[in-house]
């Protein structure tokens, strides 16, 4: 079941997001969902951010 919530955006941020959505051929809604999924992972596990953190941790340890 999808959940909804209101989000207040600065006018300039809204404009930049709208332009980015148009450039990608997406609706503003779809772009925001895509960005959120990339940030926390598609399945809600946060896998994408965990992998990024792990990679940066490995790089810093190898210096």
- Residue range 15-63, pLDDT digits in tens: 999 999 999 999 999 999 999 999 999 876 655 555 555 555 555 565 4
pLDDT on residue 43: 76
This model's pTM is above 0.75: no
pLDDT on residue 3: 94
* Number of domains within the chain: 1
CA atoms within 13 A on the CB side of 17: 17
Q: Is 2 part of a structural domain of the chain?
A: no
Q: How many whole angstroms separate alpha carbon 34 and alpha carbon 9?
A: 17
Q: How many whole angstroms separate alpha carbon 38 and alpha carbon 44?
A: 10
Q: Is 3 part of a structural domain of the chain?
A: no
Cβ atoms 46, 55 nearer than 8 A: no
pLDDT on residue 34: 97
pLDDT on residue 10: 98
Q: Is 22 part of a structural domain of the chain?
A: yes
Q: How many whole angstroms separate alpha carbon 52 and alpha carbon 57?
A: 9
**Which range of residues forms the domain containing residue 55?**
11-61
């Amino acid at each position: 079941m999808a959940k909804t919530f209101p989000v207040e955006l600065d006018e300039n941020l809204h404009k930049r997001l709208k332009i980015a959505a148009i450039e990608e051929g997406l609706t503003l809604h779809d772009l925001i969902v895509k960005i959120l999924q990339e940030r926390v992972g598609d399945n809600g596990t946060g896998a994408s951010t965990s992998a990024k953190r792990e990679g940066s941790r490995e790089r810093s340890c190898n210096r």
